[in-house]
Amino acid sequence: MLPHIRTLGLVEYQPTWDAMKQFTAERSGETRDEIWLVQHPPTYTQGLSGKPEHLLNPTDIPVVKIDRGGQITYHGPGQIVAYLLLDMRRWKIGVRELVRLMEQAVIDLLADYSVVAEGREGAPGVYVNGAKIASLGLKIRNGYCYHGLAFNVDMDLAPFANINPCGYAGLRVTQACELGITAPLNELQAELAQHLVHGLQRHLASAGAGPARE
């Protein structure tokens, strides 16, 4: 069964994180997977291995210490956040494969608009001409994952200057609107979800399990 896509709009970070944890704690082998598509008010999130020195200039933007991997990143309106709440055994997928799948979904979406993007070995995310356009991080618990990816579309990038994005000093960030992509955010959101679902289907088929059904 394919993941249920939920479009939740602009939602506060903490309650959304709490809801992901609750969903994951209460789910069973029969629970349908979900992909949540959201935007967040201005928020910095600091991963489990996050070092406080990567917050260069504290501001009034809250810093939330969370349970995904990785360092500090920024979320704000105009950024698509896709949370993948998946049973990884159902999809026969490992962490590294899922990271590559999420990156490829963004790369394929950008390719639809004639933008060439790439991943980087050892530095998860998606990059265009050396600038990061999407970041990602996951939490795995009992074979289930949550968290996901953040794709910059049309947002205020200034808060990224207050951090070393994802722990990399001087890392440039970019967004879809700077690359000539004028499609509305809700369209890009739907297209990204489809690329994620198609990636999961392709992976499952390649694992010899046959395609997932609606």
Q: Identify how many contiguous H helices and E strands the chain contains and give both numbers.
A: 3, 9
Q: Which pair of tokens denotes residue 23?
A: 């969903």
> 73 labelled as ligand-binding?
yes
Report which of 72, 82, 79 is spatially closest to residue 46, judged by C-alpha positions: 72
> Residue 135, annotated ligand binder?
yes
**Residue 180 annotated in ligand binding:** no
208 is in an annotated binding site: no
Q: Is 69 annotated as a binding residue?
A: yes
C-alpha R_g of the chain? 16
Q: Which residues are catalytic?
A: 166
Task: State both tokens at 15.
Answer: 């309650």
- For residue 208, the one-letter residue type is G
Q: Is 148 annotated as a binding residue?
A: yes
User: Annotated binding residue at 71?
Assistant: yes
70 is an annotated ligand-binding site residue: yes
CB 82 within 8 A of CB 67: no
**What's 32's DSSP letter?**
P
Crossing angle of helices 185-206 and 95-112, in 10° steps, is 130
Q: Which residues are annotated as a binding site?
A: 68-75, 135-137, 148-150
Q: Which residues are annotated as a binding site for substrate?
A: 68-75, 135-137, 148-150
